[in-house]
Amino acid sequence: MRTTLSPMQTIEELTQATLDSLNVDQAKDENKSNLDRLGGVENLAISMGIDLRSGLTDNQVTTAREKFGTNQFPDSPMDSFFTLLFNALSDTTLLILIAAATVSLIIGIIQEPTEGWIEGVAIFIAVFLVSNISAFNDYSKQLQFRALEASSQKDERASVLRNHEIQRINPIDIVVGDIIILQAGDMIPADAIICDDSTVLANESSLTGEPDDLKKSKDKDCFLLSSCLITEAEECRALVIGIGTHSRWGKIKTSLVTEAVNTPLQDKLEDMTKTIGYIGMVAAFGTFAALVISIWARHGGKDVAQGIVNAFIVAVTIVVVAIPEGLPLAVVISLAYSTKKMYQDQCFIRVLAACETMGNATNICSDKTGTLTENKMTVVEGLFADTVYTQEEFEDGSAMAREVKVLIAEQVAVNRTAYFVHTDQDGKPLPKPQCIGNKTEGALMTMIQQWGFNHDEVKNKVYDQKKDKVFAFNSGKKRSTAVLHNANGSVRIYCKGASEWVLKDCTMMMDTKGNPAPLSDMKRNVIEKHIEAMASRALRTLVLAHKDYSKASELPANWMENPPDNTNLIFDCVVGIIDPLRSDVIDAVRTAQSAGVVVRMVTGDNIATASAIARQCGILTSNGTAIEGPNFRKMTPRELDAILPRIQVMARSSPDDKYLLVTRLNGHGIPATKEEWVEKFKDREGVTFENDRDKLLPGFRDEWEASRPEGGDVVGVTGDGTNDAPALKAADVGLSMGITGTKVAQGASDIVILDDKFSSIIRAISWGRAVFDNIRKFLQFQLTVNLVALLIVFIGSVAGFDPPLNSIQLLWVNLVMDTMGALALGTEAPTPELLQRKPYKRQASLISRPMWRNIICQATFQLVLLLVLLFDGAHLFGVEEGISCLKYSVQSNDLYWNAVTGAKTDSASGTITCKSFNTYCKGEGYSCLKTSRYLGTYNGVEAHKALTDMTDFADKCLTCTTKDYTHGTIIFNTFIFCQVFNEYTARKLGDDMNMFSGIAGNYIFLFVSIFTVFSQVFLVEVGGDALQTTPLTLIQWLITIGLGAGGLIVGALMRLIPIKDDPNSFFDHKQHSNYVVAGAAKSDDEVAALLHNDKVV
């Protein structure tokens, strides 16, 4: 049943069902028919009480919000904690441990009903802790990224018309009935109906899967869908009919689940994890075999079943410890921490891999406007109607003919997509109007305001959207255009754009009285020299021109698609616009260069302006060169490679030029097969694969790889416009602008620079390097722990000892080095020293030479220390070796032993009974039991023996009520404190002796250290049979901590060993450039000639 509107229905009476009837999914024609029945969008607005010229009033906004809610979308579902816990418990090694614990529990209860359950339960507890911590980390990661997304959404803005003025508000505050204002590159914030006469192109692929841009207009397909992108438009106004969960996007968002994708570093670490896991399995098998053999070799074949189960548990635990699942966890923790911190540094990470990739960027191709400059445009001088005016002379326009001012003001007011807003989101007046859109247009609008013209009033007076049209900036023609039909039937074409491009199409010029006059060669030369002079002073130049038709019928038939704006133009003026450098740019560029990053400026400005600004920034150096886009794109790959290392500025560039530069640098998108090449150049006439594959940019994969044996550059590219999307996608890291960037550019990018500053890009590099180093620090730490843990357990088992570290202790070690270590070492902040080294190559090993030195030295120290404690520690500390008994109780009284021979006998000849234990050792343990003493005289022979000399005395008479694990506890405690102090030495990868620098500011690291120490004290003092620990004396505590602290001394001494990073692991621009130029096979004379011809300046 259809719902219709009554003629006098208001926004208070409007129902959601009525709106839904206009917004049915996959029913475009039916929706349009329903709208037409209501009289179209104008009658719909009238029925709702909305004035399309002024927008909603404050009262209407309140009413609409109360009735239809806010424009908030439901969050995508995230995995619950219990789902993540189930996934963690599904891990193969944990499942094996659970099975082993179950077997141990059953056998233990059968054999020792009172205490046999302890080990099995302890393993269950350890598995519970490990799985819960893993699930908690995964759940926390989800929450962190959701918080980052919310922070990003908080900064979003959309333009709406309310109370007769354009306001910038958060999309969440949009309500039904709002008039939204959209431009090219904007994301549509709500479902809406076009309500003006504009024609736009919208990309709905994110919602409908339709890959092609769709033409939208009021008369045909007038429905704009939320979350989709406006790819081409001048200015479009649309009436909102669907928000939040009632919009097309909101209806499906709840069912969207995004699968996590590994970063390249995670993939590399997972490969390493598998390799280490295989080594651990070999060690586990060897340990299992040694323990099984010891059942017969040491214990005479007693308790075979329990012995095999215990051996299996230890072997599985070794596998658990050996598999460094903490490596991927460290990446996640480091990336999650870094992305949160980077957001505070104005870098919003959209793609996790970009964070680590940015750290090893070798090139940054940066826009000029808004990134290197402040994007605060001001017209400071110009040549108007054949007369040069300084800023003071034309500021009020008094020295200029009225006809000239009117014509220029009319062009500025009409030929634009920018506009001013005068209030903030809360409705408070701004100190000065904020320009939304093109800042160059904003400078021109400010100029005519100073002349006394109101741009909105002028446009409303002369512009009729039903028959006139404004064409947004065309990157191919380098201009924007407006077509106006005058009241007398004539037509005027206004265009403005890049000086060289527009001036070359001019054949006339406006004289001082505003009349057309011939543009002679001499006049053209004067204008060109003035443009060059302004450009040399780093002013951006812009030419304004027009063209008249006496009647509309003279216009070309296709003027609506392709305006006649590139022939027989009348030159009106050229303006010089200053855009000051950002205060931080010079230092940021210098920092990037010292970090081994080549900074290149890519801009649409002419080469003189671009070069002047690049020199001010420090980008263009004495060894560098500047090139113009039109000449760049004509080069062959061989010609380009000859000068590519020296190109620091590309002027007059198109988006395609930027894309070609990026692909030639990093190799992305270069055709690798004949089929790919033919597809790429299918629209080029007369081009064949056989003749032209090595002549057209970006080249062919074979020749590109031949000239770059070590691979390409890692390229970061900035972009803010819709047409920058291809270059952003081709880059290793696409960096879009958060303030001036379009949604299309931001959607194509990996990182959004929220403040548009170049210095924020440098901070992204610093954080990227910190992430890479933090992972390596953790890797250095974990491999040391792995190596020592595996070897000490294996050697101890082979040597016939009980495992020096039992399964529960190994699981605690696993927890310390995985979760705690990853948390401690994965959250180190970047230091200035990170930007004093060159970037690493793509194929550089994760483990450097100094890291191997550190790992081997620390592992050797720890292993020697633990082996000494294993073989001689009991003697050195004066304790019993292995596991003994601290306290016995007597269980039998009817047995007798001969005190002299130690043999069991009868009551007639035996003087030693089970009760004798209470006589000599009541309340004591094995140390008393093995002590030799006088036991009496038998047949005149004095008996000096220990009770252990009595055959099977302990087995027959005694029950151990308290076991003595002191020897093992000393080894365990020393091992843990070795790792505690090793975490400090692992904070430095190179030769820095000060392992404590910056530690006071790393609260997470300090927390982990304190938590580990207190947890260890707790486990040792109360662990008992479950953990197989015995409380230590104060002296034993101090000695074991001191032994562990010896790792600090080793950490300092090992850095005196002169081992440096492999120079070949760093990206060397000079060496790389030699490869590229050599591959181009250009002689010095040829290169010199190429650099001085008309292609390069």
Catalytic positions:
367
Question: Among 11, 515, 69, which Cα is nearest to 239's?
Answer: 11
Q: Helix, strand or coil for residue 473? A: strand
Q: Is the Cα torsion angle 217, 220, 222, 228 positive or negative in sign?
A: negative
CA distance 405 to 514: 9
Provide Rg for the chain, Cα atoms: 39
Tokens representing residue 849 in the block: 């030479």
Phi-psi region of 177 (alpha: psi -120 to 50; beta: other; left: phi over 0): left
Tokens representing residue 309 in the block: 């189960």
493 near 555, Cβ under 8 Å? no
The CA-atom distances, in angstroms, between 420 and each of 173, 430, 434, 437, 438 are 20, 11, 5, 9, 11
CA distance 770 to 826: 9
CA distance 574 to 390: 12
Amino acid at 628: E
Task: Write down the H helix ranges in 816-848.
Answer: 821-825
Task: Write down the H helix ranges in 511-636.
Answer: 521-536, 585-594, 607-617, 629-632
469 near 483, Cβ under 8 Å? yes
CA distance 196 to 825: 58
H/E stretch holding 665: helix 655-666
Eight-state DSSP code of residue 835: G
Question: Among 769, 779, 780, 772, which Cα is nearest to 831's?
Answer: 769
Burial of residue 887 (number of CB atoms within 10 Å: 0-12, 13-18, 19+): middle
The CA-atom distances, in angstroms, between 790 and each of 229, 816, 859 are 56, 15, 11
Residue 785: partners with Cβ closer than 8 Å, 6 or more residues away: 813, 816, 817, 821, 979, 982
Eight-state DSSP code of residue 899: T
Q: Integer distance in angstroms from the first to the last C-alpha of the chain?
A: 71
Tokens representing residue 385 in the block: 């109607």
CA distance 359 to 925: 61
Strand 236-242 to 191-194 pairing: antiparallel
82 near 298, Cβ under 8 Å? no
Tokens representing residue 67 in the block: 């009735």
Strand 429-436 to 569-578 pairing: unpaired
Amino acid at 572: D
Tokens representing residue 337 in the block: 């921490």
Eight-state DSSP code of residue 244: G
210 near 250, Cβ under 8 Å? no
CA distance 86 to 164: 57
Q: Helix, strand or coil for residue 842? A: coil
Q: Helix, strand or coil for residue 559? A: coil
CA distance 685 to 656: 18
Tokens representing residue 624 in the block: 């560098």
The CA-atom distances, in angstroms, between 635 and each of 105, 629, 757 are 76, 10, 32
Burial 1016-1034 (b: 16+ CB within 10 A, else e): beebbeebbebbbbbebee
